Amino acid sequence: MVDARGLLCPMPVIMVQKEVKANAPQTLEVLVDDVCAKENVTRFGKSQGYKVAVSDTDDGYKLTFTK
């Protein structure tokens, strides 16, 4: 789980990039709280070969990466 809520871009993408590089997870959940971060993290996930599912949460979005 990567919690990138409250962070301006590009921090959310950098955090996800680090996690993907370090552990190459098959699945990964990312929490963000603004649309810009949601778009950028989704774009990054897809570029790394993940399918990205987006669901709403109380204070933003949960992005679920799956290989």
Tell me which residues touch another protein (CB under 8 A): 5-11, 13-14, 17, 33-36, 39, 43-44, 47, 59
Distance CA 67, CA 54 (A): 15
Q: Sheet harboring 51-57: ordered strands across?
A: 2-3, 27-32, 60-66, 51-57
Q: What are the residues facing 30 on neighbouring strands? A: 2, 63
Least Å from the CB of residue 63 to another protein: 16
Specify the residue, 59 or 66, whose C-beta has the smaller distance to another protein: 59
**Closest alpha carbon to 44 in 55, 58, 56, 32:** 32
Specify the residue, 17 or 64, whose C-beta has the smaller distance to another protein: 17
Least Å from the CB of residue 8 to another protein: 3
Least Å from the CB of residue 47 to another protein: 4
